[in-house]
Amino acid sequence: MFCALASKGGVHVGNHKNATPRILILATLSGGYRGADATGQAHWEYSPNTYLLPVRTAAMFPPQFYLNAFQRGIDGIIVMYSGTDCPYKGAPERAAQIVNETYELMKQRGLDVRRLRLVAICTVCLRPFIKEIQNMTALLEEIGLVARSLSQQQDAQAQAA
């Protein structure tokens, strides 16, 4: 799904006034994905600029995955997992560790760490599921799209050289 998204959209240019922020949701099967499914079954709507990727655990994605997603035009990532209810021993702690490592790499690259969120979403968490998407959308509208952030950083580096 992620690769298809990147190839379908081509180059994501973030400085278009009408551009919509793109949000990737990594939803664990034991938590976030069931919350998304419950939201859909309840016929609650959420922003169409979200791309839902069901995963077994967020602990299987290294920091480079997140950085690559930002480079390919994803503006925000929400990792929705079941927290300590995860069926995989040590996975919640490992996922948190990976996200913390990613934050450090994001800082080094001049990316706002608020673009990546790790949240516990249970199987019946409809309102929190919708609220996370709304919050991320509002944040991205405030801070701008990744492509704009990356190009501003490159401009600053070029001026410094």
pTM of the complete model beyond 0.85: no
Look at 101 and 13; give whichever has higher pLDDT: 101
**Domain residue extents for the chain:** 21-160
Torsion of CA 36, 96, 14, 17, to 10 degrees: 60
What Cα–Cα distance (Å) separates residue 109 from each residue in 3, 52, 115, 152, 161?
23, 25, 13, 11, 17
CATH topology of domain 21-160: Rossmann fold (3.40.50)
For 126-153, write each residue's pLDDT tens digit. 788 889 999 999 999 999 998 755 555 6
Q: How many CB atoms lie within 10 A of CB 76?
A: 27
**H or E segment at 43?**
none
For 31-54, write each residue's pLDDT tens digit. 777 777 777 777 787 778 899 999
Look at 126 and 114; give whichever has higher pLDDT: 114
What does the pLDDT read at residue 11? Answer: 31
Average pLDDT over residues 67-77: 95
Look at 147 and 79; give whichever has higher pLDDT: 79
Residue 116 has pLDDT above 80, yes or no: yes
